[in-house]
Chain A
Amino acid sequence: METQTIKSQGKTNKATERISGSEAIVRCLIEEGVDILYGYPGGAIMPVYDELYKYQGKIHHVLTRHEQGATHSAQGYARISGKVGVAIATSGPGATNLITGIADAQIDSTPMVCITGQVASHLLGSDAFQETDIVGISTPVTKWNCQITKAEDIPIVMAKAFYIAKSGRPGPVLVDITKDAQFEEFDFAYEKCTHVRSYNPVPTTDIIKVKEAADLINAAKKPLIVWGQGVILGKAEEEFKAVVEKSGIPAAWTILGASAIPTSHPLNVGMVGMHGNYAPNVLTNECDLLIAIGMRFDDRVTGSLSTYAKQAKVIHFEIDPAEIDKNVKSDVAVLGDAKKSLEELLPFLEEKSHTDWHQKFKDLYQIEYDKVIKNDLYPTKEGLTMAEVLKEINIKSEGKAAIVTDVGQHQMIACRYADFNVSKSNITSGGLGTMGFGLPAAIGAKMAAPDREVVSISGDGGYQMTIQELGTIFQQKAAVKVVVLNNDFLGMVRQWQQLFFDKRYASTEMVNPNFVAIAEGYYIKARKVTKREELAEAVAEMMQSKEAYFLEVCVEKEDNVFPMIPTGASVSDIRLE
């Protein structure tokens, strides 16, 4: 049983102190270096909140306006700080409201610990007031979860939770604590977890595989690197840059890999995938070697697997053995932490420049520029484009802002056109595609990096899914810059309806409220832009603001995001119009 196993693994010799379970929870958080957590109180978690009140000098609780907001804020915090984000909620509806954020964190490998209150243990399974089987519900979307019914288990479970959340391929962990366990007193001592018997978070890098990879790389005539978030999670930005520069290989990124090396880097050839750049998508099916680093061949990246890079040999650098050959069969798999693997790879690499191969990327970029990018960034038509808003933000922030996006057209545009010159600058919901992610995630991001400019970019649809978090921004005085690109549509769905459903715009047109009035209702400075002439000045005003600022930009209603790979098509069949 859980308790027995946990007990046998936790051999603590530290001096103890008799405290309640709820105080123990807070003390565990402090021991783990948590100084901020996001949550929402309720009946079954009240003892812990009472302790948080006592410890508010050491740990800052952020009252979000919805538990979903708490998870997304914790995610934003984690993504930019590299630390574990913490969210807390009560039982029943409080706990179930965390699920979207947990699922999002699971698929995007975000370290997060969620703590939920639970009804008293004698009521478990009785359909008690605000009881849900949150351990059962969260099982498929957590890296690990556990229910605590005895106070004495708290330190060991909490230590294990933090260790599992942040080690190896990170992920969300949920700890559910019955109310009686929160009240119960026990002898508290804390020891951090450094090892779980059945869990091997970082597989050992096999030097033979590294050499095999190096041989393939050195022999390749047309190699292409596709990197993912593994580079950022592994803190391997330096090693990665060195590998790219020494090997001279064009490197493209997945949406979550963005910013590991700057946009302006000459070997950075752009984004792959459904709305990625033309050149890396087309040339994926022409390269002779595909080097995947810390990415998982998501279907939004690969398009049709039956044609994806079939001509190429594939090297896969990956921390999670279950990702090897899951979607794309690799010729050489190098398991392990990206930092270590790339560090070991570097000395075996020959210096190369691949000039002719690079020219192909440049030629295709020119085609994309002429057909798409030029019109997006320097439109000649009257309506504002989403891309020109990003262009202004790039100028005013010098490409140093952390861009937190929601999900939809604006997200793809932001990823395509934002300058990411600092690592961890693209905070977005990649795998789950969670509308409503952006605004609360930006709060967490700003709190993790108060010195950085954090710009939240949403569409009018996703923004309204968590619009209540404006209240959190106001109460916390979080100086987030909130931009809504308003086209009065659920734009991405509308684009699909236009292209694949004969323009039958079923339930995608939105009649929107007065967004400025709503922001002002929360005492947030706000402005609306409808004309191109006002844009630069409005963005400048926003970026200069020391406080939170809301900017609504009314953009072209029926603008599409191109390039685009239709679902199920080959990456090389990417459409420019």
Chain B
Amino acid sequence: MSTEDKQLYTVSIYTENNIGLLNRISAIFQRRHINIESLNTSPSEIEGVSKFTIVVNIDEVNIKKIIGQIEKQVEVIKAYYHNLDQIIYQISGLFKIKSELLFEEPQIQNIIKESNARIVTVNKAFFILEKSGRKEEIVQMYNQLSKFGIMQYTRSGLIAVTKEEMKISSLLESYNN
């Protein structure tokens, strides 16, 4: 697998909400030495059906094989892969910063304004900034703020919906028949 062919793929997996399934799915990546860039699980639009969103850097031949292995798991309803052009996605970053900086460093206020970040809470000791968007935007904000000192920083996995319709409901109906 040459590195040039690799790109970021988003894997969307619709599953039953069962204990242990995360283990089964992550093991598929682990066995093949594929590093998971980010992972998010949440309920999906269908009651009782969970959705995994996993981002990996891989080539298309191998992502197809991975999808096959994932779909093979008994409790997986359907798995898809998309490149970043085929999805609408967001990630979220949280920044904890000393409160005094908010007043002493006017530049910080400018950063907040220009980046459309949101102040989640403020107290005497610190304030929390939240910024949603593409990864580059969160990273850019991190770079801008880091020179003033960040007490804590964390970034979520990617959450995504596809531009194309994913017919899970009708698929489930066909399984039930």
Contact = CB atoms under 8 A, between A and B. Distances in A.
A322 B68 contact: yes
Interface string A123-161: 000000000000110011001111100000000000000
A326 B65 contact: yes
Greatest chain A CB density within 10 A among B72, B76, B172 is at B72
Contacts of B176: 197
B48 A198 contact: no
A145 B20 contact: yes
B59 interface: no
A136 B15 CA distance: 19
Contact of B16 (A198, A321, A324): A198
Contact of A198 (B19, B23, B76): B76
Interface string A185-208: 000000000001111100000000
Contacts of B69: 322
Given A2-B19, A139-B27, A8 B175 contact: no
Contact of B68 (A145, A164, A200, A321): A321
A197 B16 contact: yes
B64 interface: yes
Interface residues of A, number: 27
Contacts of A507: none
B170 to A, nearest CB: 14
Majority secondary structure of chain B interface residues (helix, strand, loop or mixed): helix
A197 B78 CA distance: 11
Interface in A517-574: none
B155 to A, nearest CB: 28
A247 B124 CA distance: 84
Contacts of A135: 20
Contacts of B64: 325
A4 to B, nearest CB: 8
Greatest chain B CB density within 10 A among A5, A136, A147, A323 is at A5
Interface residues of B, number: 24
A140 B16 contact: no
A1 B18 contact: yes
Contact of A5 (B18, B65, B76, B175): B18
Interface string A419-430: 000000000000
B77 A197 contact: yes
Contacts of B17: 1, 4-5
A136 B23 contact: yes
Interface in A426-483: none
Interface in B1-60: 15-20, 23-24, 27, 31, 48
B2 to A, nearest CB: 15
Contacts of A198: 15-16, 74-77, 175
A32 interface: no
B137 interface: no
A196 B20 contact: no
B24 to A, nearest CB: 6
Given A5-B16, A139-B23, A326 B68 contact: yes
B130 interface: no
B20 A164 contact: no
A196 B69 CA distance: 18
Contacts of A344: none
Contacts of B74: 143-144, 164, 196, 198-199
A140 B71 contact: no
A4 B71 CA distance: 22
Interface string B74-91: 111100000000000000
A326 B74 CA distance: 19
Greatest chain B CB density within 10 A among A196, A198, A199, A323 is at A198
Interface string B148-177: 000000000000000000000000100110
B20 A139 contact: yes
Interface string A1-40: 1101100100000000000000000000000000000000
Given A140-B27, A197-B176, A198-B15, A320 B20 contact: no
A8 B175 CA distance: 15
Contacts of A139: 20, 23-24, 27
A133 B23 CA distance: 12
B19 A320 contact: no
Given A146-B20, A198-B75, A325-B64, 14 more contacts: A1-B17, A2-B20, A5-B18, A135-B20, A139-B23, A143-B74, A147-B20, A164-B74, A196-B74, A198-B16, A199-B74, A321-B71, A322-B69, A322-B71
Interface of A: 1-2, 4-5, 8, 135-136, 139-140, 143-147, 164, 196-200, 320-326
The 4 lowest CB-CB distance pairs between A and B, nearest first, are A322-B68, A198-B77, A322-B72, A144-B74
13 contacts: A2-B18, A4-B48, A139-B23, A145-B20, A147-B20, A196-B74, A198-B77, A199-B75, A320-B72, A321-B72, A322-B68, A322-B72, A325-B64
Interface of B: 15-20, 23-24, 27, 31, 48, 64-65, 68-69, 71-72, 74-77, 172, 175-176
